[in-house]
Structure 1
Amino acid sequence: MNKILTFSDQDLLESLEQQTHEQVEEAPFGLVRMSREGIVVAYGKLESYITGISKEYALGKYYFTQIAPCANNRMIAAKFAQPALDEELDYILTYVSEPVKVRLRLLKSPTSRYQYFLVNLKAVA
């Protein structure tokens, strides 16, 4: 797949679902691909840069308690209980990095193999 991904693409979930773990790790924004149970299966290079958490450390861990407890709340983690999710919101990441203002996008569908946590630094003023 050669399509360049953009953070707000309407069909981004479908595009991500067609990519390998290695391809999503090259996304031009922070990206975490999780199993339907919340286990990290791919951790993007830009996500690693933003958070300071290495891909090697993140893989295989439960995202909302072991990697990003700052997102383990009703605004973020609880939304993944919904069967379908495509929402953008402003947020401040605070876990291992200095507080960073970001734009998040949360993605999943009833038919998607994975669920996604996306981080965009450029969309925040």
Structure 2
Amino acid sequence: MTERLRFESDNIFNALADMDGEAMNSLPFGVIRLDREGTILEYNLTEGQLTGTDPRKVMGQNFFRDVAPCTVNPQFYGRFVEGLEKGELDTVFEYIFDHQMATERVKVHMRKSGGEDSVWILVKRL
């Protein structure tokens, strides 16, 4: 299933909800799932490799405050907050990560989870 699953797939978020950790770690792009406050609930191995972060060490931390403070700006965090306030969050944008790592240009797809009160963030290198 993960071989056919692409970053741009229409069904990507439904598939992620059914994946176990091993399948999620095999994806060729980063996967992060946050609660409404920004606490990390999922953080796959690919995202860890992209950022040089051990996924086990960031679980339970606040993504915006503790892990990626470079995202606390209108382009990233602002979209997260606005989308949660409106109850509609499904946005794709290009971004540059530069916190404690080499500058990395990425494409981000952020979407509120359908049945849960959480947000998926997909990250693909450009």
TM norm. shorter chain > 0.5: yes
Displacement after TM superposition at 1:63 (Å): 0.5
Name structure 2 gaps, 5 residues minimum.
none
CA–CA distance in structure 1, aligned partners of residues 20 and 36 of structure 2: 16
Number of residue pairs aligned between Structure 1 and Structure 2: 121
Which stretch has the larger CA shift, 73-82 or 53-62? 73-82
- Superposition pairs of residues 46-125 of structure 1, within 5 angstroms: 46-81=46-81, 82=83, 83-109=87-113, 111-121=115-125, 124=126
CA–CA distance in structure 2, aligned partners of residues 93 and 57 of structure 1: 19
8 Å Cα contact 2:36-2:118 kept in structure 1: yes
Displacement after TM superposition at 1:17 (Å): 1.7
The equivalent of 2:45 in structure 1 is 45
Higher helix share: 2
- Deviating above 6 A after TM superposition, structure 1's stretches of 4 or more consecutive aligned residues are none
Which stretch has the larger CA shift, 58-67 or 19-28? 19-28
3-state SS of 1:76 partner: helix
3-state SS of 1:23 partner: helix
Displacement after TM superposition at 1:22 (Å): 4.2
Residue 10 (1) aligns with residue 10 (2) = yes
